[in-house]
Amino acid sequence: MEKKLLLVDVDAGVDDAAALMMALAAPHVEILGITCCFGNTTVENIPVYQGASTPLLNTMKKDYFYGTDGLGDIPDADAPGSDQVQREHAVAAMIRVVSETPNKVTLVATGPLTNLALAVKMDPTFPKKIKNMSIMGGNMYSRGNIDICAEFNFAADPEAAYIVLNEYTCPTSITTWEFASSHSLPWEFYEKCTSQDSEKARFLKEIYTVTTGYQKRPIPKLRTLYRKPGFVSCDCFAMAAAIDEDLVTESIFCAVSVELNGSHTRGMMVLDIDDRLKKENKVSIAKELDMEKFKGLLLAALK
């Protein structure tokens, strides 16, 4: 089987780590580079290609859902140091990697889209060189997690999300916040995954301690319309969709954009179901997936 080449742009949270572990465990996947931006933690906490440290307009609300270091604030004396930080800027690295292997790289974006927005501004041909793109972010039913109607990644830099969704013409799939919330995994399965006798399973369980504490809180009644009780690792859905293109079994295919001005809707993804925007490029928004395949990828990641 031909290797699936991935370039992964993260914001270094717990679920980004889980998504990377999923990709690294897949035998037919090769990660060409890991770039990062602000989001769940500062870029200084990430020993890879450092990218944007603030949104384009620098209006982000701080959120420490995954701890102040993005990995649950678990001390690790053996963690890689600053010597692992690459001198090349993340955006330059993205452009270089894709240019070296044009039309063969799948770009997976699991954080704010600032690096991607900067990449297309630096090189307008960048999106044309990408094979396809998988994004975790946005929403399709106007339900938010960081704001009333906005999901964290898009709300962190709405202008960047707007640029990406309007200027990237490569085939694009999106797994939204509501999609992830409605496809939570039973806690029994989470315990099965993280109780495997492996360093990876123990590591993931430890860094997820803060997050699972939040996730186990009672869910408000109205939120149960789309949020099922259980374990949710949002970024893993975008990664799984990139690893196995048959994983998503039902999608909405339409043009999308991002609201920039609303007092309650800034950062909300807008679905152009009736094609009023008359945009040529459409995206695929996940609605359903093969849960057994998804569980298998997560189990394999922690063996």
Q: Give the start-to-end residue ranges of the domains of the chain.
A: 4-301
Residue whose C-alpha is closest to residue 284's, from 180, 175, 173? 173
Residue whose C-alpha is closest to residue 161's, from 26, 52, 289, 82? 52
Q: What is the token pair recorded at 168?
A: 């990237």
Q: Which of 9, 11, 69, 244 is catalytic?
A: 11
How many other CB atoms are found less than 10 A from the CB of residue 210? Answer: 18
Per-residue pLDDT of the chain (303 residues; tens, 9 = 90+): 689 999 999 998 899 999 999 999 999 999 999 999 987 766 665 547 888 888 898 666 556 555 555 555 565 656 555 565 668 999 999 999 999 999 999 999 999 999 999 999 999 999 999 999 999 999 999 998 888 999 999 999 999 999 999 999 999 999 999 999 999 999 999 999 999 999 999 999 999 998 999 899 988 876 777 788 999 999 999 999 999 999 999 999 999 999 999 889 999 999 999 999 999 999 999 999 999 999 999 999 999
Phi, psi of 35 (to 5 degrees): -110, 165
As a whole number of angstroms, the distance between CA 232 and CA 178 comes to 11
CATH pick for 4-301 out of 3.40.228.10, 3.30.360.10, 3.40.30.10, 3.90.245.10: 3.90.245.10
pLDDT at 204: 94
As a whole number of angstroms, the distance between CA 26 and CA 104 comes to 17
Burial class from Cβ neighbours inside 10 Å (0-12, 13-18, 19+) for residue 3 reads exposed
pLDDT at 47: 47
3-state helix, strand, coil in the chain (%, to 5): 35, 20, 45
Residue whose C-alpha is closest to residue 142's, from 177, 181, 184, 166? 177
Beta-carbon contacts of 132 under 8 Å, excluding residues fewer than 6 positions away, are: 106, 107, 170, 171, 172, 173, 242
With H, G, I as helix, E, B as strand and everything else as coil, classify residue 233: coil
pLDDT at 53: 82
Answer yes or no: 246 catalytic: no
